[in-house]
Amino acid sequence: MSCIACWILHFSNFCSTCAFIITPIILVFHQRKHDINPVKYLLIIPGAYPWKITPNGFVYKFIYTMEAVSMTLTVFVAVGIDSLFTFYVFQIIGRFREMTYRISNINEKNDFRNAIRECVRQHEILMRCRDILEKIYGPIVLWTIIINAIHLCGQIFEFTQVL
């Protein structure tokens, strides 16, 4: 079930990225089909630049291409990092379940001391793995939260300017 949810997430991210990239092109074709003049060339990410962007000029095409490439790479990296983090946590949870099973199923045949010793050793390894994950992914999670907050503020600002 988890694998299906992962593929659905990847597919929806891919579709939304393609929709963002293709929307300005579709709008240009729509304007040309209906003879709307002047044709308004939109960028993928609306923003203000300190230089003049001529419609359908070299600068417009360059910025459009750079925005498309950066958006695509950002989505691929974000999906990859999220999936890798989830995979690592899944592996750690599996190890904890294995330890739980080993401790709960100790009988006379198994050596109690060896089972406990092995579980303690494995627990120490897992705690080091946790520390490494926290060290690596802590700044990534913090950065993601900050960027999402800034992005949300920007969208709210743009929305209030439209009204």
pLDDT digits (tens, 9 = 90+) for 73-130: 888 888 888 888 888 999 999 999 999 998 888 876 667 888 888 999 999 999 999 9
How far from the centroid of its chain's Cα atoms is residue 31's Cα?
A: 33
Q: Kindly indicate the confidence band of residue 132, based on its pLDDT and cuts at 50, 70 and 90.
A: very high
Q: What is the mean pLDDT of residues 30-36?
A: 90
How far from the centroid of its chain's Cα atoms is residue 36's Cα?
A: 38
| Alpha helices (H) along the chain | 2-33, 58-104, 112-162
pLDDT by residue (tens digit) across 39-78?
A: 888 888 877 778 888 888 899 999 999 999 998 888 888 8
- Which letter, b or e, does each residue of 107-120 get, where b requires 16 or more Cβ atoms within 10 Å of its Cβ? eeeeeeeeeeeebe
Amino acid (1-letter code) at residue 6: C
Q: Kindly indicate the confidence band of residue 162, based on its pLDDT and cuts at 50, 70 and 90.
A: low
Predicted TM-score (pTM) of this structure: 0.65
Backbone φ/ψ region at 42: left (φ over 0), alpha (ψ -120 to 50), beta: beta
For the cut 80, the answer to whether the pLDDT of residue 6 exceeds it is: no
- Phi, then psi, of 108 in degrees rounded to 5: -65, -30
Q: What is the DSSP letter of 42?
A: -
For the cut 60, the answer to whether the pLDDT of residue 1 exceeds it is: no
For the cut 90, the answer to whether the pLDDT of residue 22 exceeds it is: yes
What is the residue extent of each domain of the chain? 2-162
pLDDT of residue 100: 92
pLDDT of residue 163: 60
93/3 Cα distance (integer angstroms): 16
Q: What is the mean pLDDT of residues 127-134?
A: 94
